[in-house]
Amino acid sequence: MDNKDKRIYLFDTTLRDGEQSPGISLSVKEKLEIAGQLKRLGIDVIEAGFPIISAGDFEAVKTIADKVKGPVIAGLCRAEKADIDRAWEALKGAENALIHIFLATSDLHLRYKLNKTREQVAEAAVAAVKHAKRLCPNVEFSAEDASRSDIEFLAQVVARVIEAGATIVNIPDTVGYAIPEEYGEFIRNLIGMVPNHEQAVFSVHCHNDLGMAVANSLAGLLNGARQIEGTINGIGERAGNAALEEIIMALYTRKHYYGKETAIDYGEIYRTSRLVSNVTGVSVPANKAIVGKNAFLHESGIHQDGVLKNRLTYEIMSAKLIGVSEDNLVLGKHSGRHALKDRLEKMGYTLSDEELAQAFVKFKDLADKKKEITQADLEALAGDQSIAVPEKYTLSYLQISSGTGMIPTATVKLDINNMSFETAAIGDGPVEAACRAVDKITDIFGKMLDYKLNAVGEGKDALGEVVSHIQIDGKIFTGRGLSTDVIEASVKSYVNAINKYSYQLSVQNQEK
């Protein structure tokens, strides 16, 4: 097996397919932050968005294409000239650009969604690829719902789009219907039926509706695919996509079986997972493979005894390999800024001087409330700072009056552009009362769509991390708040979402 056969490519669609998860809406700044981290991780292709779908998506793709050098930057489009032209307008500043075209090929989609014949679909696919090829040397064609398509018709379409100039052909399991043995055989047979298959890279893109996205992707790889598409933490529509961190570590841990190589920096895996979770507000389940908090924990006495004698008894991979630090240096209220900076850098966080200064203020505030600052606390603080937007509104004071038989009342003071404003409000609970007080001060009225409270670390003084999705003017913003007081964390989360709304509004006004 030569190096060409060993090397496989990882295509990340967290910023496009991942953002299509219910409740996720990312700003340009947030997408750029994730794209930068995906570059550090070693991802080959970053699908930055769907440029024609909205002005925000266009701006995100354009910004990432202009600023993130190294990886291939892709933009998704339908098999329509207007989509392709819009995608190229966003992508043309990229060091390496890829126009990604999709069109359904299953009879089910042709009949009920597209109302087209097979020949009409084939002609549309070829025309779209030819037009894209005139603009960009790299063109990917995706046959939507490929796993439920007639294989002979699909082979004809694939052969024709390769002849038209497609450099990558993607064979998605769009609805997660396939099973590994079946999907692997489908990929192998399809490649064998395409006479010009050596002129393109075959790719797989699997969804997780039956919980087999990762297994199906690896089955495709064993049967001729050389690119795998997925998302960090497996986020995506419905049950999500193939989780790239699971695929990466399966290839690493079982490299003698798969015999494949990637360009991944394994030490960036955990940080990438945390960043995506922080920005999107989608928590990683404790038992999630590779990056869940329980992935390397052992409670059973038998397991603990085995691990102490030899880690290989119950651990098939190293926590340190994926970037989970085991530094036991204790930080507390007497620790200085340099100690904080040093620890964060060892954990993989590089903050600007301004970001470090703001993180240090939050660190000192937390240290006054806790005896010891844990790694989980530091990850929360660093993640909170690295994705922050300018704070027009800052919570400076909060007092709650609540109890059995009482109407919950909140008094809130916000700092706005160096001026303080204070008011009180009532609600069905203390959090609602405080949020209503914030509404009265800011004159911005949000609707809380969902609310998650996570404990960061252990013990009675553990940080409370609140992630909420707030709807303002028809758009959804992810708010995040940290505090040892869960009500304060909740209000901070709400104010954070309002700050994101305010920042987006100011950017739009500047562009006009």
Which residues touch 451 (CB under 8 Å, ≥6 apart)?
466, 467, 468, 490, 493
Instruction: Return d(Cα 264, Cα 282) in angstroms, integer.
Output: 24
Which residue, chain included where needed, has tokens 């920005």?
279
Q: CB-hemisphere CA count at 13 Å for 30?
A: 29
Instruction: Return d(Cα 331, Cα 412) in angstroms, integer.
Output: 31
Regarding whether 428 and 339 lie in a shared domain, the answer is no
Strand locations in 389-462 (E): 393-401, 409-416, 419-426, 447-456
* Torsional sign, CA 45, 51, 54, 56: positive
pLDDT at residue 189 greater than cutoff 90: yes
Mean of the per-residue pLDDT values for the chain? Answer: 89
Q: Quote the pLDDT of residue 482.
A: 85
Confidence of residue 370 (pLDDT cuts 50, 70, 90): low
Range of the domain at 491: 393-511
Q: Quote the pLDDT of residue 1.
A: 38
Give the pLDDT mean for 100-125. 97
pLDDT at residue 172 greater than cutoff 70: yes
Give the pLDDT mean for 113-122. 97
pLDDT at residue 5 greater than cutoff 70: yes
pLDDT at residue 374 greater than cutoff 60: yes
Regarding whether 247 and 339 lie in a shared domain, the answer is no
* Torsional sign, CA 173, 178, 180, 186: negative
Q: Quote the pLDDT of residue 271.
A: 92
Least confident of 254-263, 264-273, 311-320, 425-434: 311-320
**What proportions of the chain, in percent to the nearest 5, are helix, strand and coil?**
45, 20, 30
Higher-pLDDT residue of 298 and 382 is: 382
Phi and psi, residue 104, nearest 5°: -70, 145
Q: What b/e sequence results for 388-416 when a residue is b if at least 16 CB atoms lie within 10 Å of its CB, and e otherwise? A: bbeebbebeebebebeeeeebbbbbbbee
Instruction: Return d(Cα 421, Cα 418) in angstroms, integer.
Output: 10
Regarding whether 494 and 365 lie in a shared domain, the answer is no
Indicate which CATH number applies to the domain containing 238: 3.20.20.70
Give the pLDDT mean for 419-441. 95
Higher-pLDDT residue of 188 and 509 is: 188
Confidence of residue 267 (pLDDT cuts 50, 70, 90): very high
Nearest to 21 by CA among 488, 430, 478: 478
Most confident by average pLDDT, 2-16, 121-135, 300-314:
121-135
Span 39-59, pLDDT tens digits: 999 999 999 999 999 999 999
* The total number of structural domains that make up the chain: 3
Most confident by average pLDDT, 237-241, 281-285, 298-302, 465-469:
237-241
Mind giving me the DSSP string for 38-87? HHHHT-SEEEEE-GGG-HHHHHHHHHHHHH--SSEEEEEEESSHHHHHHH
Regarding whether 494 and 364 lie in a shared domain, the answer is no
Regarding whether 382 and 409 lie in a shared domain, the answer is no
Indicate which CATH number applies to the domain containing 464: 3.30.160.270
Regarding whether 205 and 104 lie in a shared domain, the answer is yes
Q: Quote the pLDDT of residue 504.
A: 81
Q: Quote the pLDDT of residue 341.
A: 80
Write down which residue in 280, 314, 334 finishes a domain.
Answer: 280
